[in-house]
Amino acid sequence: MSDTNPSPPAGYYRRHVFFCLNDRTNGEDSCAHHGAKEAFDHCKARVKAEGLAGPGQVRVNKAGCLDRCAGGPVAVVYPEGTWYTYVDPSDIDEIVESHLKNGQVVTRLLLPPDVGR
């Protein structure tokens, strides 16, 4: 094949955050039952208010099931691959201010590495 595998370019987004918004309607639990949509909306609004949104900066994105449901609600920040679990808007504020704005992981909100479905 003629494909090459160059060093990745600087990302289109510096940080790309994906919130699981999965909303199961079969009686099983899911992130949407734990304030995921509200957290997504809050994060998106905070990132915009901080002037961080857009190409070269931060994108806050809706996602389907990220398959780490046991630790939900969850979100992941790429390209770092940092996984968070959160409870309330102040957790989101801390992720925005510390990680998305200043590149410092919020250790207390990290999803333990062994948490899966």
- Strands 15-20 and 58-63 come out as parallel
Residues 16-75 that bind a copy of itself (CB under 8 A): 16, 18, 21, 55, 59, 61-68
> For the chain, first and last CA: distance in Å?
37
CA nearest neighbour of 15 among 60, 51, 71, 50: 60
* Nearer to a copy of itself among residue 3 and residue 28 (C-beta): 3
Element spanning 100, H or E = none
* Nearer to a copy of itself among residue 12 and residue 25 (C-beta): 12
Region of 67 on the Ramachandran plot (φ > 0 left; ψ -120 to 50 alpha; else beta): left
Of residues 45, 52, 70, 105, which one binds a copy of itself by CB under 8 A?
Answer: 105
Residues 99 and 77 sit within 8 Å (Cβ to Cβ) = yes
Minimal distance in Å, beta carbon 52 to a copy of itself? 14
Of residues 3, 25, 27, 28, which one binds a copy of itself by CB under 8 A?
Answer: 3
Give the binding site for a copy of itself (CB under 8 A). 1-6, 8-9, 11-13, 16, 18, 21, 55, 59, 61-68, 76, 78-83, 98, 103-107, 113, 116
